[in-house]
Amino acid sequence: MTRNKRDAMTVDLFDSIGEAEPAPQTLCPGAVILPAYAGQDDRLLAALQDVIAAAPFRRMVTPGGFSMSVAMSNCGSFGWVTDSTGYRYDSIDPMTGRVWPRMPDCFSSFARDAAAEAGFDGYTPDACLINRYEPGARLSLHQDKDERDFSWPIVSVSFGIPAVFLFGGLSRADKPMRVPLLHGDVVVWGGAARLRYHGVMPVREAYHERLGRCRINLTFRKVT
């Protein structure tokens, strides 16, 4: 079976090993997977180190008072934050009191190219949420809906150990597809898919030669 035969409910995690960057796969109208699209691009991970040195990963607290299992940081003009008062985009990192690190040029050009590949031309993200999952970490189903203009897509880039991305419908109750994401995989969702619920299953114990026991996900957004 090749990655091209991706049946969203039953995809084999290992079916793409050894293949060159396969063709984009449509998950549903408006949502595309670009398999291994970032796999060869070491500039993103190199630039990420500088971002994290300036704005370290931290486990934020939900409005309900729980510490998230995913550790987060941001770069760009805005960062997504949560605390006991709610969720918001903020130009200041509440942990350092400084503006978020600027978005590296290689991040913005990568996101622009990936969005264009998925059919969204002219994408200029102003925020990038950086998520770090250690084994056991998960992200519950949610919509990305704190941005001003939903005509711009979300561009998500995965690195490190595998995860199962849950991609649901426009209602929380819709049964989500289970989409394995490997190092370098990119998902773009916009248009009719922009407000679909999504999340990440608890990440399983694994080791990645570059990132160790860790999955890193970048999600690019256009907030303003």
Chain residues binding ligand SIN by CB under 6 A are 129, 131, 139, 156, 158, 165, 198, 200, 217, 219
Partner that binds at residue 185, options Fe ion, ligand SIN, none, CB closer than 5 to 8 Å by kind: none
- Closest to ligand SIN by CB, 108 or 156: 156
DSSP states of the chain as a string? Answer: --GGG--TTS--TTTTTT--SPPPEEEETTEEEETTTTTT-HHHHHHHHHHHHHS--B--B-TTSPBPSSEEEEEESBEEEEETTEEEEESB-TTTSSBPPPPPHHHHHHHHHHHHHTT-TT----EEEEEEE-TT--EEEE----SS-TTSPEEEEEEES-EEEEE--SSTTSPPEEEEE-TT-EEEE-GGGTT--EEEPPPPP--BTTTBS-EEEEEEE---
- Closest to ligand SIN by CB, 27 or 139: 139
Binding of Fe ion by 144 (CB under 5 A): yes
- Closest to ligand SIN by CB, 25 or 131: 131
Q: How far is the CB of 39 from Fe ion (least distance, A)?
A: 22
Residues of span 97-116 touching Fe ion by CB under 5 A: none
Query: Which span sits near Fe ion by CB under 5 A: 30-38, 119-127, 137-145, 167-175?
Result: 137-145
Partner that binds at residue 31, options Fe ion, ligand SIN, none, CB closer than 5 to 8 Å by kind: none
**Residue of closest CB approach to ligand SIN:** 217
Q: How many CA atoms lie within 13 A of 209 on its CB side?
A: 1
Partner that binds at residue 131, options Fe ion, ligand SIN, none, CB closer than 5 to 8 Å by kind: ligand SIN
- Closest to ligand SIN by CB, 3 or 132: 132
Binding of Fe ion by 147 (CB under 5 A): no
Contact footprint for Fe ion (CB under 5 A): 144
